[in-house]
Amino acid sequence: MLEIRNLSARVEGNDILRNLSLTIKPGEVHAIMGPNGAGKSTLGNVLSGRPGYEVTGGEVQFNGKDLLAMEIEERAREGVFLAFQYPVEIPGVSNMEFLKASVDARRRHQGLPELSSFDFMKLARETSKRVDLDQAFLKRGVNEGFSGGEKKRNEIMQMMLLEPALCILDETDSGLDIDALQVVAAGVNAMRDGQRSFIVVTHYQRLLDYIVPDYVHVLAAGNIVRTGGKELALELEARGYSWLEAEGA
């Protein structure tokens, strides 16, 4: 479903990703770990098309299509979803209206009819319950005045509503307490249906206790230096990253 070949990318003139390759099959969960500055977040940003991230080489096929040639919104409509590490606060833009517009866009693209306002509100309320987010948040501005945990739960809620094919979680666990972490993990696990794929970018092994990955990749200096199963995460937890960076160099 996702085929990354020799991807290189740069931000503000600095080469961050170097020749990175990664193949993800439907239903798989891939964890990306690594030290600060390894390029973990860059990968998610490049895949979702964030301005300022310049691809200098390689290609990315998403369900047989050239992902890098697509506009930001096309990628989203095709089913790529990035759960932001730092979701933006947008006061004045109603969360509900924003969510409805997003879901409408995705459904239209899939050839499905738009949901009526009533049906959508019902769905949104149910979904907010599943991520333990107070319904009052639906009426507020997008992420306006949300705590760190509430913002992350809002991201997961958007993911549930949009039902993407590929979910990229960018350090979704950062700043979460253990209860919120469990809520987020339960949300993700409920969406694992054997078809949907996940890239879980994280700093810590802890999240992977709850979202059990099929593969763990270690990213260092813009490339994958080690791939293993879920036990690799435990090893990293015990030994840190330095031994791998030394090996990779």
Partner 1 sequence: MNDAPHTQFQQQALHLAAAQQAPDWLSALRFAGAEQWLQAGWPGRRTELWKYTPLQALQKTPFQNASGALHSIPANTLLDVDATRLVFVNGILDAGASSLGQTGVVLFSAASPEQQALIARHLGTVATTPRHLFATLSNALAGEGVLVHVPRGAMWEKPVYVVNIAVPEAGAALVSPRLLVVVEDSAQVELIEHFASDAQAQNGFVNSLTEIHCGANARVQHYRINLEEEHLLHIGGVHVDLWRDARYQGFTLAEGSTLKRLDYQITHQGAGASAVLNGVYLPRHQQLLDYHTNVEHKAPHCTTAEVFRGIVADDAKAVFNGRIHIHPHAQKTLAELNNRTLLTSDRAEIDTKPELEIYADDVKCAHGATVSQIDADALFYLRSRGLTHEQARSMLSFGFINELLQGITQVAVRDYLHKHLQMVFAEADSIAPMPVADAT
Examine residue 162 and tell whether it contacts partner 1 (CB under 8 A).
yes
3, 27, 55, 105: which one binds partner 1 (CB under 8 A)? 105
Closest among 214, 175, 174 to 196, alpha carbons compared: 214
Please state the closest distance from residue 229 (CB atom) to partner 1, in A.
31
Buried b (16+ CB within 10 A) or exposed e, 48-61: bbeeebeeeebebe
Examine residue 2 and tell whether it contacts partner 1 (CB under 8 A).
no
| Pairing of the two strands 2-11 and 14-24 | antiparallel
5, 57, 59, 98: which one binds partner 1 (CB under 8 A)? 98
| Pairing of the two strands 215-220 and 223-228 | antiparallel
CA-to-CA distance for 202 and 160, rounded, in angstroms?
20
Examine residue 101 and tell whether it contacts partner 1 (CB under 8 A).
yes
Please state the closest distance from residue 87 (CB atom) to partner 1, in A.
7
User: Which lies closer to partner 1 via its Cβ, residue 34 or residue 44?
Assistant: 44
Closest among 15, 32, 71 to 48, alpha carbons compared: 71
Query: Which residues does residue 227 pair with via DSSP β-bridges, in sequence order?
Result: 217
Please state the closest distance from residue 173 (CB atom) to partner 1, in A.
20
Examine residue 69 and tell whether it contacts partner 1 (CB under 8 A).
no
Contacts with partner 1, residue ranges (CB under 8 A): 48-52, 71-73, 75-77, 81-82, 84, 87-88, 90-94, 97-98, 101-102, 105-106, 109, 141-142, 158, 162
